[in-house]
Amino acid sequence: MSGGAPRERRTGDGTGVVVAVDRGVCIGAGQCALTAPEVFTQDDDGFGQVLPGREDGRGSALLREAVRACPVSAISLGPGG
């Protein structure tokens, strides 16, 4: 990384995507947790985070909508690995 803010990034299972929340960008609006509560939650400080075991977003019909709903584009989807 180029000295940017730390990211919460977890590895997927190689079948789809990896969901990441950039904690340096997240403002804690909570739209991710409201839109796709089966994938996202908010930590004790109110910032979005991916639920343990849900890093691949599998089974969430609203995952991409949650990414779009983030007002500061703090959520990214990358290739699973």
Q: Which residues pair with 77 in a beta bridge?
A: 19
Give the count of beta carbons closer than 10 Å to the beta carbon of residue 9: 14
Domain boundaries, the chain: 26-79
- The pLDDT-based confidence of 81 (bands split at 50, 70, 90) is low
Which CATH fold would you assign to the domain 26-79? Alpha-Beta Plaits (3.30.70)
Q: Using one digit for the tens of pLDDT, what is the confidence trace for 34-73?
A: 999 999 999 999 999 999 999 999 889 999 999 999 999 9
Given strand 75-79, what is the order of strands in its sheet? Answer: 7-9, 17-22, 75-79
Q: How many residues does the chain have?
A: 81
Our measurement of the distance from residue 61's CA atom to the centroid of its chain's CA atoms, rounded to an integer in Å, reads 14
